[in-house]
Amino acid sequence: MGPEAILQSAESEQPPRCPDCGVQYTIEEDDEACPVCLLRRAMQLEATVEDLLDEGRFDHYQIVRRADGCFDELGRGAMGVTYRGLDTVLGHAVALKVIDARIAWSGDARERFLREARTAARLRHPNIASVFYYGVRKSDGQCFYAMELVEGETLEARMRRDGSLPASFALAVVAQVARAMALAESQGLVHRDLKPANLMLASGPDLTVKIIDFGLAKAAAASESDITHGAFVGTPAFASPE
């Protein structure tokens, strides 16, 4: 066998190259295409689907975008992310809370998120942000709820900017929060995570405080199951000693 024949024989034994991407691959009986190309197409399709699902649409609510094109995020809590949203049916602004994608796979987390929405929805008080809609997005099962949009800033933001609060202002805040907690107690609920980041100071001439997060609230009655299973919940720096 001459050199040219040997070279042709060696080349014929090499795995074929994909005409599209140039990658060599071994052909199996059930192969329909280059596996690298198939993977790339799958990744492109997945990205396209994610883009479609990432339009910020949740039933008849739409997340508002800022001037730079990003979603208008209002805050993050233990359970989810809150965005400025729009009720596309009634045409008014809302706060849209979406369960954190990092815990959305957990059945316990989804149950706790639903319980948070139910808890806030049953408490009607001037110092509690009202929840009026809960839903699960059909396209991907993402849980969310719509609540009253409170324009203003958190007590935490105010304290970071201005430092210690005047005694009269602090007492006024405590009085409003105490009235809201009195209602919660009358409903057999314990908040378990009151802190400045969960208290909104509404914009306006008069001081109005709104509790905006009931993610760790639970029934005081021992008969209700506690999905935290005895583990510590809350924010250590603000938790009661017991």
Classify residue 2 as left (phi > 0), alpha (psi -120 to 50) or beta.
beta
- Determine the residue type at 86: L
Rounded to whole angstroms, how far apart are CA atoms 74 and 84? 6
Query: Strand pairing of 152-154 and 218-219?
Result: unpaired
Rounded to whole angstroms, how far apart are CA atoms 215 and 117? 8
Q: Which residues contact 62 (CB under 8 A, 6 or more apart)?
A: 56, 85, 86, 88
Q: Say whether 193 is catalytic.
A: yes
Place of tokens 């596309």: 88
What is the distance between the terminal CA atoms of the chain, rounded to a whole angstrom?
A: 90
Active-site option among 193, 206, 213, 226: 193
Using alpha carbons, select from 40, 12, 35, 39 the residue that is nearest to residue 23: 35
DSSP 236: G
Rounded to whole angstroms, how far apart are CA atoms 207 and 197? 17
Please give the positions annotated as active site.
193
